[in-house]
Structure 1
Amino acid sequence: MTMDADMTDEELETGGLGRDPTLLIVEDDKPFSSRLARAMESRGFTVSVAENVAEALAKIKAGAPAYAVVDMRLGDGNGLDVVKAIHEKREDCRAIILTGYGNIATAVTAVKLGAIDYLSKPADADEVYKALIGSADDTASPPENPMSADRVRWEHIQRVYEMCERNVSETARRLNMHRRTLQRILAKRAPR
């Protein structure tokens, strides 16, 4: 990270974190969340960890963090619900979504709900840190390998699914697809 002349003395002292270095990590993979928590603490954050949506919502109710790293798929729900709850309590929170099931539709939804970035797993601590404190001017480099036809189809299905507010029956009807076929597609990881 380059130190900007526009940063205050306090931001320079805290590495760009500002006055409130609170970070909520919502991740159900315990080894990954503990490694990420340690790495973020070493970078100046005050970290709290939640393993599911219910625990995250309770922590947000007690006090919304300035930063958040939220897994997309959690055992008891969707990480997008956590991002939405955070931004209802604190609009200036810099939240990012981590997912192993990345697609354009959920990335767009995450940004609409207030996320500032969307990272695919496995993401390392440096990528997460850069996303959390990066400026809006930071741009991603173009992909080296464009999407396959299977991936484009999968992305379209995901976009319609999100437009239908994650309603499988309505999505299947709009795509003229059998409901069980759609459920199988949604349960699988994204094709490369």
Structure 2
Amino acid sequence: MLSDTPWLLIDDDRTFLDILARSLRRQGIDAHLAHDPETAITALAEQEIARCVLDLNLAGDSGLALLPKLLAQRPGLDVVVITGYGSIATAVEAMRRGAVNYLCKPVTVAQLMEVFSVSSAEPPLRQTPPSVEELEWEHIQQVLQQHDGNISATSRALNMHRRTLQRKLQKRSRWRQ
């Protein structure tokens, strides 16, 4: 068991949270569930929690916006950010804001336990270079984040037609599901 203190799981997907909490209990880890930022802040104030799993998208709210608030309330908190739509840009931003790691869904309990048990913050090096498609996707995500999610501004910055950018984003999001 990694900790005697419970974990805080924050995600707007109630089914995912229930399954994750049950899987953690089988490993001897108790978990408190939060489906929105307010519940998460309250749970952190009322419970002794050392580890947190935070979804990037909380039904329209940003997990990245919640992350500094959690760390301000509990400075020693280890937070792993999870998402169904991973990109290097959001991973870098999550780490910059204080996350100990960043994982793409689907996430297993074994992965979470490994991430929390690793003492080094250095991720393992990738064995193969990224494909051209992956590099393009990461660049698009970085420019999209620089323009606060504004598709028109991003398409201008990339010198790409707006519809082309939208098709690329839709195609990749369907592929990731």
Q: TM-score range by the shorter chain?
A: 0.7 to 0.9
Aligned to 1:17: 3
Report the counterpart of residue 3 of structure 1 in structure 2.
none
Q: 1:168 to 1:39 in 2, by over 3 A?
A: same
Matched, 1:160 2:143: yes
Give the drift of 1:154: 1.2
CA distance in 2 between partners of 1:80 and 1:190 (Å): 23
Pairs within 5 Å for 1:14-93: 15-17=1-3, 21-60=5-44, 62=46, 65-93=49-77
Find the counterpart in structure 1 of residue 130 from structure 2.
147
Distance (Å, rounded) in 2 between the aligned partners of 1:58 and 1:173? 42
Unmatched 5+ residue regions in structure 2? none
What SS is found at the alignment partner of 1:135?
Answer: coil
Give distance in 1, aligned partners of 2:45 and 2:174: 33
2:100 aligns with one of 107, 116, 127: 116
1:172/1:107 CA distance change after superposition, 3 Å: same
Seq. identity, %: 33
- How far residue 163 of structure 1 moved from its aligned partner, in angstroms, is 2.5
Determine helix, strand or coil for the equivalent of 1:115: coil
- Alignment correspondent of 1:4: none
1:127 pairs with 2:111: yes
Question: Is the CA contact (8 Å cut-off) linking 1:53 and 1:76 kept in structure 2?
Answer: no
- Show the counterpart of 1:136: 120
CA 122–33 in structure 1, closer or farther in 2 if over 3 Å, else same: same
Q: Give the CA deviation at 1:134.
A: 1.9
Q: CA deviation at 1:110?
A: 0.5
Structure 1: which 4+ aligned runs deviate by more than 6 Å? none
**2:44–2:74: 8 Å Cα contact kept in structure 1?**
no
TM-score w.r.t. the length of structure 1 is 0.75
What is the aligned-residue RMSD (CA, Å)?
A: 2.8
Please give the per-residue CA displacement for 1:149-175, whole angstroms capped at 9, x wherever unaligned: 122111001112223343444333322
